[in-house]
Amino acid sequence: MHTPDTDAATSYSLPAEIQEFCDVARRIVREELVPLEPKWLSSPNHAYGMRELPAIRAVFDAETANRIEKVARDTGLFYLMVPEEYGGPGLGMLAQVAILEQLYTTPIMLPIANVPNILYECQGDQVERYLKPVIEGTKVTAFAQTEPNAGSDPGGMMQTRAVRKGNGWVLNGTKMWISNANECDFLMVQAVTDAEKRQRGGITMFLVDRQNPGLRVEVPGIRTWLSTEAKQHVVHFDDVFVPDEDVLGEVGKGFTLGQRWLTIHDRLLRGPYALGKMQRALDMSVEWAKQRVTFGKPISERQAIQWRLVDMYIDIQALRSMTYEMAARADAGEDVRSEAALVKLCSSEWGTRCLDHAIQVHGAMGESLDLPLTLWYRVLRHTQIGGGTSEIQRMLIARKLLGK
C-alpha cells in the first residue's frame, strides 16, 4: 500500500504551532493508519456517514481500535476542533483545514471530536446532556434539515412543524437523507414554528432524543452507491413532544444555525476533505506511472499520462490556495458564506475530476477495491449533491456577485 507523501500540502510557511500539528498528523497517518488500510478497505462494516469512533470500532478488533483512539487523544488531535473553554486547543479554521488535509490522506477515519459548530450554542444543562458527551465521543448526533420535498429549498419548502403546547413543543413531519439517524443518540431538528416568517425568524432548532416517543427511523436505511451499508434514513416525527429546555439557541433562529453548520462543516471543510484524497491520489499515480511499463517503457514517459498528472496537480494547488485563504478569512471574522460555497463547489467538482484521472492512470488496477481510489471517487462525486448541489453553490456565489 502506497504511503502518502503530502509535504507539499504545507510547503509555504504556516505558523509553527499549526505546522507542528500537521507533522504529527502526517506521522500518525504513515505509521499507524496506512498499515491498516487493507483491513479497512476489505471490511463491509464501515459506511459513508458513520462517525469516526463507531467506524473504527466496527472494523477493527478492540485492541486496535483502542490504540488508534489513544493515539488521537494523547497527541491532542482528538480535540483539534474543540474550543479552549471545552478542553481543546482553540485552533482557528486555517489550522483545522491544514491538519484535516493530512488526516484525509487515508480512508481510515482517525477519531476526533467532530462536534457540529452550532452545538456550542448549548445552554444550561444542555452542555452536560448534549455538548460534552459529543465532545468526548460518548454520544453521537445527527443533523435533520432535509425533507422529501425540501432539499435545495429547505427554508421555503420545509413541512415539519412545531406547535407550542404547555412548556414545550409538539413536532410533526418527516426528514429524509439523515446520516447517522439510526445510530445517533439525539438529532438536531429544524422545524417551522412560524409559517409566515419561515427562514426569516420562523424556523427553530430542537434537540430531540432518538428514543423520544413518536420518533421513528425507517430501517433499513436508503441504499446508495456510497457504501454497502445504508446509513442515511427517513425519520418520522409523530406528535413528538420536546420541552422548552431542549430548544437549541433562540426560538425562530434555527434556520440561521443550520446555515452556520452548512457553511463550515458541509462547505468550507469540504476543502481539506477533498484535498487529502486528491493529494494521495496524485502521489499514488506518480508512483504507479513510474513503475508501470507498457510497450517497453514506463507510462510516465507518455504525454497522455503526464498531462493527467499535471491536471491533477493544478487542481490541487488551486484548491489548496483557495481553501486556506477562505479559512484565514473566516478566522478574521468575515462572512464567508459565499466563499465556503466556492470551496465546496470546486472541491467536489475538481476532486471528482482528480480521482477520475487517478483511476484512469492506474488502468485496471484503478478499479481494484484494494486501493482507495474508487471509494474516494464515490464520496467526492456525492459532494456535488450532498450539503447543497453544485447548482445551489453557483446560485449562492452569483448572489454575491450581483449584490443580492
CATH number, domain containing residue 167: 2.40.110.10
- 196 shares a domain with 73: no
- 236 shares a domain with 281: no
- 397 shares a domain with 292: yes
For residue 11, is pLDDT > 70? no
pLDDT at 328: 95
Q: How confident is the model at residue 8 (pLDDT cuts 50, 70, 90)?
A: very low
- 316 shares a domain with 396: yes
pLDDT at 404: 80
For residue 228, is pLDDT > 90? no
Tell me the per-residue pLDDT of 245-273, one tens digit each, with 9 for 90 and over: 999 999 999 999 999 999 999 999 999 99
> Residue 236: what are its φ and ψ, rounded to 5°?
-105, 140
Enumerate residues 6+ apart whose C-beta is below 8 A from 275.
9, 101, 104, 316, 319, 320, 323, 347
- 279 shares a domain with 233: no
Q: How many CB atoms lie within 10 A of CB 359?
A: 21
pLDDT at 397: 96
Tell me the per-residue pLDDT of 196-207, one tens digit each, with 9 for 90 and over: 999 999 999 999
CATH number, domain containing residue 345: 1.20.140.10
pLDDT at 105: 98
**Domain membership flag for residue 2:** no
Q: Which of 228, 248, 268 is the last residue of a domain?
A: 248
**Domain membership flag for residue 122:** no
Number of domains in the chain: 3
- 152 shares a domain with 77: no
Tell me the per-residue pLDDT of 374-397, one tens digit each, with 9 for 90 and over: 999 999 999 999 989 999 999 999
Tell me the per-residue pLDDT of 83-130, one tens digit each, with 9 for 90 and over: 999 999 999 999 999 999 999 999 999 999 989 999 999 999 999 999
**Domain membership flag for residue 329:** yes
For residue 7, is pLDDT > 60? no
Give, for 239, the enclosing helix (H) or strand (E). Answer: strand 232-243
- 211 shares a domain with 267: no
Q: Which of 196, 225, 248 is the last residue of a domain?
A: 248
Which range among 32-36, 60-64, 251-255, 261-265 shows the weakest confidence by mean pLDDT?
Answer: 261-265
- 76 shares a domain with 187: no
Q: Which of 51, 80, 115 is the last residue of a domain?
A: 115
Instruction: Give yes or no for a cis peptide into 243 (omega within 30° of 0).
Output: no
Structural domain of 382: 259-401
pTM here is: 0.93
**Domain membership flag for residue 244:** yes
- 270 shares a domain with 217: no
**Domain membership flag for residue 124:** no
Enumerate residues 6+ apart whose C-beta is below 8 A from 351.
274, 277, 278, 315, 319, 380, 383
In the predicted model, what is the mean pLDDT of residues 341-361? 98
For the chain, give the mean pLDDT. Answer: 93
- 397 shares a domain with 304: yes
State the Cα–Cα distance between residues 134 and 155, nearest whole angstrom: 27
**Domain membership flag for residue 285:** yes
**Domain membership flag for residue 343:** yes
Nearest alpha carbon to residue 274 among 55, 136, 105, 66 = 105
- 393 shares a domain with 347: yes
**Domain membership flag for residue 128:** no
Q: Which residue has the higher pLDDT, 9 or 158?
A: 158
Tell me the per-residue pLDDT of 294-322, one tens digit each, with 9 for 90 and over: 999 999 999 999 999 999 999 999 999 99
For residue 154, is pLDDT > 90? no
- 339 shares a domain with 285: yes
Helices and strands: H and E segment counts in the chain: 14, 10
